């Protein structure tokens, strides 16, 4: 909401200027020191600078790494506009590179956001199965990894007893624990919501037990942050299987991890 305040102020000033100072829009020789020139030109510039600073700050934070590209795009908008506009003025270029840059960055942001909508689960903000498919098709060196399946225990019972809103809360809590576990582990990880109450991780490690242990620790931490007035506990079952890194063998590894996950669920 705070970020909208400059937009509201700018819109109000724009409307008032048509009534109070119509000459501002008609006189080409108006001095730049005019109050309305300052309000209508300087305020948006400050707003863009603040957005750039915020984008850089968030991009530098560890918890923002899944959205790193988005923040860097936002942060690059103002410097890019200033460089393009400065170059056009300095070199007296007839080619409207300033307009080209603005059009390019807006189009790039639009395509990037569309890709995020297609590849991101709207509830947990994790990767979805579309992103998993893209990940498996990427060219990479074949490295030994482990596929880890995570399933929320008694999820149907939570939905049936406490409602779907409470079920969504349980999924978000588990997803936060999974993200925290991935941030704490030093090796390469891929995390997605596979579907329903199931999550999938791909970890390049020789010690999958360490990943499972870290997930359980993070889940307990997230649960401890919540109020304990609810009469149920959120738990998750996990299973893992070796994957040789080849896309054609991934399904088999996932099925094996799924079987072990259900074995863990039966023992719980």
Greatest Cα-to-Cα distance within the chain, rounded to the nearest angstrom: 82
CA-CA-CA-CA torsion sign (129, 131, 137, 140): negative
38 plus 150 within the same structural domain: no
Picking from 100, 119, 138, the residue at the C-terminal end of a domain is 119
Task: Please indicate, yes or no, whether residues 51 and 85 belong to a single structural domain of this protein.
Answer: yes
Q: Do 15 and 96 belong to one domain?
A: yes
The pLDDT value recorded for residue 254 is 95
- Whether 161 has a pLDDT exceeding 50, the answer reads yes
How do residues 221-240 score in pLDDT, each as one tens digit? 888 887 666 667 888 999 99
Q: Which residues pair with 193 in a beta bridge?
A: 199
| Residue 92 three-state SS | coil
Of 206, 201, 207, 203, the closest CA to residue 238 belongs to 201
Residue 230 within a domain: yes
pLDDT tens readout for residues 183-207? 888 788 899 999 999 999 999 888 8
Number of domains in the chain: 2
**The pTM is what?**
0.69
| Mean pLDDT value across residues 165-189 | 89
- Which of 21-25, 88-92, 133-137, 191-195 has the least mean pLDDT? 21-25
- Look at residue 259 and tell me if it is in a domain: yes
* CA separation for the pair 196, 181 (Å, rounded): 20
| Residue 164 phi, psi dihedral angles, 5° rounding | -70, -25
Residues 250 and 150 in one domain: yes
SS3 assignment, position 237: strand
196: domain CATH number is 3.30.70.270
pLDDT band at 132 (very low <50, low <70, confident <90, very high): very high
Q: Is the domain of 221 the same as that of 163?
A: yes
Examine the domain organization and report whether 84 and 28 are in the same domain: yes
Confidence grade of residue 64 (pLDDT, cut at 50, 70, 90): very low
Confidence of residue 36 (pLDDT cuts 50, 70, 90): low
Tell the residue number behind the tokens 């072990």, with chain if given. 260
Confidence band (pLDDT; 50, 70, 90) for 23?
A: low
pLDDT confidence of residue 227: 66
Same domain, 145 and 65: no
In whole angstroms, give the CA distance from residue 256 to residue 192: 18
Does residue 200 sit in helix, strand or coil?
Answer: strand
Q: Give the C-alpha separation, 41 to 17, whole Å.
A: 13
Last residue of one domain, picked from the residues 71, 90, 119: 119
Domain annotation covers residue 222: yes
Query: Residue 142: how many CA atoms within 13 Å on its side-chain side?
Result: 9
DSSP 10-68: HHHHHHHHHHH-GGGGT-TT--TTSHHHIIIIIHHHHHHHHHHHHHHHHHHSGGGGGGH
Same structural domain, 12 and 134 = no
Report pLDDT for 174. 93
CA distance 65 to 156: 32
**Is the model's pLDDT at 265 over the cut of 70?**
yes
CA distance 133 to 247: 9
Q: Mean pLDDT of all residues in the chain?
A: 80
Instruction: Verify that 34 and 56 share a domain, yes or no.
Output: yes
Residue 41 lies in domain: 2-119
Residues 99, 200: one domain? Answer: no
For the segment 170-176, the average pLDDT, to the nearest whole number, is: 92
Domain assignment present for residue 198? The answer is yes
> What was the pLDDT predicted at 57?
76
Residue 30 has pLDDT above 60, yes or no: no
> CA-to-CA distance for 135 and 128, rounded, in angstroms?
11
In a domain, 203, yes or no: yes
Select from 64, 93, 119 the last residue of a domain: 119
Does residue 124 belong to any structural domain of this protein? Answer: no
Whether 104 and 137 map to the same domain: the answer is no
Are residues 257 and 161 located together in one domain of the fold?
yes
Is the C-alpha dihedral spanning 77, 79, 82, 85 positive or negative?
negative
């Amino acid at each position: 909401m705070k970020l909208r305040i400059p937009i509201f102020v700018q819109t109000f000033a724009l409307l008032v200027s048509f009534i109070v100072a119509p000459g501002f829009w008609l006189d080409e020789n108006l001095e730049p020191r005019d109050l309305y020139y300052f309000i209508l030109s300087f305020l948006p510039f400050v707003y863009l600078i603040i957005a750039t600073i915020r984008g850089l700050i968030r991009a530098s934070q560890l918890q923002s790494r899944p959205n790193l590209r988005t923040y860097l795009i936002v942060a690059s908008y103002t410097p890019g506009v200033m460089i393009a506009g400065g170059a056009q003025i300095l070199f007296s270029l007839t080619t409207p590179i300033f307009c080209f840059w603005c059009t390019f960055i807006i189009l790039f942001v639009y395509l990037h956001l569309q890709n995020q909508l297609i590849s991101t689960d709207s509830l947990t903000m994790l990767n979805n199965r579309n992103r998993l498919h893209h990940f498996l098709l990427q060219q990479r060196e074949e490295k030994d990894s482990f596929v880890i399946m995570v399933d929320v225990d008694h999820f149907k019972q939570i939905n049936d007893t406490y409602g779907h809103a409470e079920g969504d809360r349980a999924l978000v809590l588990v997803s936060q624990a999974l993200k925290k576990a991935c941030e704490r582990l030093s090796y390469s990880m891929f995390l997605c919501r596979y579907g329903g109450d199931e999550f999938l991780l791909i970890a390049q490690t020789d010690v999958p037990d360490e990943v499972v242990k870290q997930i359980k620790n993070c889940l307990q931490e997230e649960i401890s942050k919540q109020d304990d007035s609810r009469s149920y506990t959120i738990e998750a079952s996990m299973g893992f299987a070796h994957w040789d890194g080849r896309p054609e063998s991934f399904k088999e590894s996932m099925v094996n991890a799924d079987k072990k996950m259900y074995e863990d669920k039966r023992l719980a």
